[in-house]
Amino acid sequence: AVVAASLLCGCGTTLQARKAMPSGFLKDYSQLKPGAEGQALLVYVNPRTDFRRYDKILMDPVRVYAGKRSPIAKIPREDLRSMVNYLEATVREQLKADYTFVDEPGPGVMRLQIAITDVKGSVVALDVMSSLTPPGIALSALKQVSTGSPSATGSVGGECQAVDSLSNVRLFAAVDARVGQKYTGKFDKFNKWRAAQGAFDYWAGQLQQWLRERREQSAR
């Protein structure tokens, strides 16, 4: 039964972690509250924001922001650079249909700031073994039930906020963390950073959908 359940849970490439620790990137976390189902783990939305006013985005370069003791410090710079570039490109690709990206502050310009705050790669050998052998599958499923994360699959944390580019008033902010699914339906077991890539795809898509919904709500 445990094996069957673990196989049936293989929709999507990542799932939300149970908690996320603020990194300090956003500086002020006092406004953020636990998100509802389908939202980031911690969320803030300025109730006074009319999202219809914003049709342009000034996007700061995606940052890697973590303390000295973070595992990120041990990740090769080339790998981190690839992750940063991938996340920024994915966000731009998702939002370009609704927004014009600009290089300077101005009226109707939302300034978007994003950071990768935690990354753990999958332990490829253990991930493969715990996906193929019955004892490994069972133990991985039990670990997911108890901790929220399957065995050896990797994880990633991120924070973002948007402010008005002229007044610097915060429009929204979010803190989230995701862990890799054991079974993704893709041939990606040997990609150490597959959880990060899956999370970046998910976050970019969610941001696009959320902003569209906010603009529609503001129009009512």
Beta bridge partners of 56: 100, 109
Residue 120, pLDDT score: 87
More confident of the two residues 188 and 94? 94
C-alpha 142/C-alpha 9 separation (Å) is 13
C-alpha 19/C-alpha 96 separation (Å) is 31
Residue 44, pLDDT score: 98
The answer to which of 7-21, 24-38, 95-109 has the lowest mean pLDDT is 7-21
Tokens of 202: 């998910």
| Nearest residue to 13 (alpha-carbon basis) of 218, 188, 213 | 188
Residue 56, pLDDT score: 98
pLDDT band at 132 (very low <50, low <70, confident <90, very high): very low
Q: Quick check: 135 and 6 in contact, CB under 8 A?
A: no
pLDDT band at 52 (very low <50, low <70, confident <90, very high): very high
> Average pLDDT in the 186-215 region?
82
Residue 75, pLDDT score: 87
For tokens 């979010």, name the residue: 174
Contacts of 71 (CB under 8 A, 6+ apart): 118, 119, 120
pLDDT at 134 over 50: no
Beta bridge partners of 58: 111
Burial class (CB in 10 A: 0-12, 13-18, 19+), 206: middle
Count of other CB atoms within 10 angstroms of residue 4 = 10
pLDDT at 180 over 90: no
The answer to which of 39-48, 82-91, 92-101, 120-129 has the lowest mean pLDDT is 120-129
Residue 1, pLDDT score: 33
Q: How far is CA 219 from CA 51, 158, 214, 216, in A?
A: 9, 30, 9, 5
pLDDT band at 3 (very low <50, low <70, confident <90, very high): very low
Highest mean pLDDT pick, 11-15, 131-135, 188-192, 207-211: 207-211
Residue 67, pLDDT score: 67
